[in-house]
Structure 1
């Protein structure tokens, strides 16, 4: 175990609740609620908020209001507002909506790629070439997201070489940041370190991010394990928004409040106000008519009530 002194002094949190967290909600959420959520998160101090997704509303109906959301949020200087762009049509919409960063996505698992987007990994990366070129030509940040990097619901184990290969392909497209995602939340601490180190041999560690799901309750342990090897960017979702479609009833994204409680307890700087994030989490949970799944968020909210 490395000493605490070797942990990063500062960490960037990418808040993915408004996009990744809400996209699978069955009930339609109004643009007003999404705008309010993004604005609350901006005010809490996040330097990067994933706010929209320009995929076909046929596939993700919840994201049909993305253009309106991007037009009406209160943008704070220095905050990056990201949008998911699966193709050139999505990119054009993101560009028109003044996204600061576009996100392209691939998989480290061939089986997942085929089931999820009906093509091979190589084909999926090739599809993103024009999007990547256009992003660079228009001066936008480009982020690559690699799903099932720690395990796949269809093929099980995902070799380290497969992860490194997709990282290399994303790097060659010109990505500024690459997310290594545990889509089904199966990783454990040592495995997490192996995957992150394998990825870092192809791309600068400072620009790699950990995107952990909490399906098996391992997300915080995996974040700590990532900190130990020098990862400085993590994704999380306010109030633990977002289920895991491959594990019935399971939680999805790790809750932002829990991550902040851990990081602040370690003396790691985030620039984010935990109390304001708890407020945002309580707000969106009330809008959805259910209790949030953040342990820290719920504990802090309960403590306030005395």
Structure 2
């Protein structure tokens, strides 16, 4: 599995452009100490359209890179590659597979990219010719707005497979094997059973494809269960690539749900893996620190769950005190990390202290 934390790009691109340079550097430095293997630092794009990325060079000049982290950025054209080059290292410019992509929603691609679905198809020959001229050995096929659109409704498996089939045929005729598929869900229509159905369909149609990239948004709370469904649908021989953000922030102004679009919360995902017994090397407690820092920076609660209620208390040292008072607010709930001062002064309605044989430490 490959996980890419997108807090600094996908997350920040929907937040205020007034977030200070110091805060961005603080957050990026903190993310680098969590054990996350891959962090996307931002995007080298026009500040006219994405003012939140206007100072990406200054962020990269000032942050403290962790040598154990692969730092990448979104590079959209030759100019963005040139801008990024001076930051290598610590930035890694990956030689990604070229991909052919089309959105099932023509309305969304017009709003987001100022071009039609047909124009997306028309761009494919130039992408293929460029790949051939560079001697590319493998390619990717993608479908975006894959499961549905806030503007035109739900899409079917047949519609998704039609786009992927068209793209696969173009690469095949060019003599470039397809080894990866990308399924993107910018408007958060994913559902676990639909994700599973889609991955199984791709594996049955093209057994040679072993890499599966999912970009899942979370406006309806389905990104984490959909990621789990993807893990269940694939085999140890497959590679699953997932994106997420600390606190589950993220989105774009084009889909109609703004900041509510969200993504899978990085801390929730790694908490799930930890509970499943998957060794990740990622420190969930430090991810929670990042989520709290992020909330301080953006001035509101984020969408993640584990940063609010804490990880499951698995040992006697972390079990909650049976005699804590009422815990009613988000600030009080932070006792899992900050201790009893968080709920000091809370309502205590019981006449006698609570004791239970299940908690020998409470017996007096």
**TM-score, normalising length: structure 2:** 0.69
Give unmatched runs, 5+ long, in structure 2: 311-332, 340-364
Distance in 2 separating the partners of 1:203 and 1:35:
43
Distance in 2 separating the partners of 1:204 and 1:59:
39
CA spacing shift, 1:25–1:178, aligned 2, 3 Å: farther
Distance in 1 separating the partners of 2:308 and 2:287:
11
Cα offset for 1:282?
Answer: 0.6
Q: Deviations over 1:72-126 (max 9, x none)?
A: 3322334221211222112221223323135788443250333321332224555
Matched, 1:101 2:93: yes
Aligned partner of 1:228 in structure 2 is 232
Q: Is the 2:42–2:56 contact (alpha carbons within 8 Å) kept by the matching residues of 1?
A: yes
The alignment's C-alpha RMSD in Å is 3.3
Q: Counting helix residues as a fraction of each chain, which structure ranks higher?
A: 1
CA spacing shift, 1:97–1:152, aligned 2, 3 Å: farther
Structure exhibiting the larger radius of gyration computed from Cα positions: 2
Aligned partner of 1:239 in structure 2 is 247
Give unmatched runs, 5+ long, in structure 1: 1-10
Runs in 1 of length 4+ with deviation above 6 angstroms?
129-137, 142-145, 169-177
Structure 2 counterpart of 1:147, from 140, 144, 147: 144
Aligned partner of 2:6 in structure 1 is 16
Corresponding residue SS for 1:187: coil
Q: Is the 2:102–2:121 contact (alpha carbons within 8 Å) kept by the matching residues of 1?
A: no
Structure 1 counterpart of 2:298, from 288, 292, 296: 288
Which structure exhibits the higher relative contact order, with contacts defined as CA atoms closer than 8 Å and separated by 6 or more residues? 1
Q: Deviations over 1:221-257 (max 9, x none)?
A: 1011101112533211001121454243624111111
**TM-score, normalising length: structure 1:** 0.81
Q: After the TM superposition, which residues 100-139 of structure 1 pair with which residues of structure 2 at under 5 Å, given as runs?
A: 100-101=92-93, 106-109=101-104, 111=106, 112-119=108-115, 120-125=119-124
Aligned partner of 2:216 in structure 1 is 212
Q: Deviations over 1:36-79 (max 9, x none)?
A: 22221121111111112011110000001112222333223342
Q: After the TM superposition, which residues 43-122 of structure 1 pair with which residues of structure 2 at under 5 Å, given as runs?
A: 43-98=33-88, 99-101=91-93, 106-109=101-104, 111=106, 112-119=108-115, 120-122=119-121
Distance in 2 separating the partners of 1:193 and 1:279:
33
Q: Is the 2:10–2:251 contact (alpha carbons within 8 Å) kept by the matching residues of 1?
A: no
CA spacing shift, 1:62–1:143, aligned 2, 3 Å: farther
How many pairs align?
292
Distance in 2 separating the partners of 1:216 and 1:95:
38
- Shifted more, 156-165 versus 29-38: the winner is 156-165
Q: Is the 2:179–2:210 contact (alpha carbons within 8 Å) kept by the matching residues of 1?
A: no
Distance in 1 separating the partners of 2:171 and 2:146:
14
